[in-house]
Amino acid sequence: MKKIAQKLALSLLACSTFEQSGWALDSGTQNLTTTVGATDYFKINCAGDTDHLNFKLLENATTADPVETPDKPSVTIGTVNPTTGPILPQILNAKLSKLKLTTSASKIAAGTIKEISLSGGNGSYLLNLDTIGTNLNLKNSQIYSVQYQCLNTVNKVTTGSAIVTGSLSNGSTKSYTIKCSKSKTTGDTSSLKIKITNKTAITKIKSAAQVIETPASGNLMAQVLKGVTALNTIGEVLNLQGGNGDYSVMVNSPVNAAKNYRFQYSCLNTSNIETKTSLIQILQDQ
């Protein structure tokens, strides 16, 4: 078999049986030649508390190109990543306090602005910024600016007004002390107003590629074996109950027609929850 691609990737499955476990491993695109008797052999190992191997043969299945989607603060981007969970945007959180008074703004996403204010009169205010809750797989630091104004009761600036800029890496915090006092021209400070701009570039994330399935034609057949038990399929989902250990997979063509194919598989327990599933091992590639 001429191997077109061996791309072992996690793929979201279309059939409801596989959706019970959420994710399954993908063999990548394979190709079977027209040679009489040509057969591909694979081995899959299941461990943990495996009850059965869930298997599906996909004839002429293709992979859709991943879609780039900008981060948004209130939605899950693309699909759920099997190792990191839902993809989260880069965010800033801000907390402004003075004595027992406090106000805050959370989840200031990349490319967005939020304002907070605190009526604490004259004196020192503490502004805390952090990046807690940001997707840790996004490694770049976040760039921000903070504009603050000390205001009197009619929103006239007293003794404090400026813009500061900075950056924060994931899981970091930074604090600023801002002092407001009485102005000779505008009087006492009534409140402090803060505008936080997350100037970080919006990250584009590629969603997981989805396998597009075509109806089985019967030109390809797969057998899954464990011990003395064997099941055959031309496209239906197989559940071979063999517990832990090595499962053998054979793919051949009853009519000796060259076909592209892939298969998806997962080791599951009695509750259809995925156990430990190995990557496939190619034993024969024709």
Calculate mean pLDDT across residues 138-149.
92
What's the pTM? 0.48
The yes-or-no verdict on residue 223 having pLDDT over 50 is yes
**Residue extents of the structural domains in the chain:** 9-65+209-284, 91-205
User: What tens digit of pLDDT does each residue of 268-280 get?
Assistant: 999 888 888 888 9
**Rounded distance, CA 161 to CA 150, Å?**
6
The pLDDT value recorded for residue 50 is 93
pLDDT at 68: 53
Class of domain 9-65+209-284 as given by CATH: mainly beta
Q: Are 232 and 11 in contact (CB under 8 A)?
A: no
Does residue 12 have a pLDDT over 60? no
Residue whose structure tokens are 């009850």: 51
Please name the CATH architecture into which domain 91-205 falls.
Answer: Sandwich (2.60)
CA distances from 167 to 89, 129, 177, 223, 276 (A): 16, 10, 17, 57, 41
pLDDT of residue 35: 82
How sure is the predictor about 88, in pLDDT bands with cuts at 50, 70 and 90?
A: low
What pLDDT sits at residue 267?
Answer: 93
| Matching fold, domains 9-65+209-284 and 91-205 | yes
**CA atoms of 202 and 274, how far apart (whole Å):** 34
CA angle, residues 163, 168, 169, in degrees to nearest 5: 165
Q: Which residue has the higher pLDDT, 262 or 212?
A: 262
The confidence score (pLDDT) of residue 16 equals 32
Q: What is the mean pLDDT of the chain?
A: 81
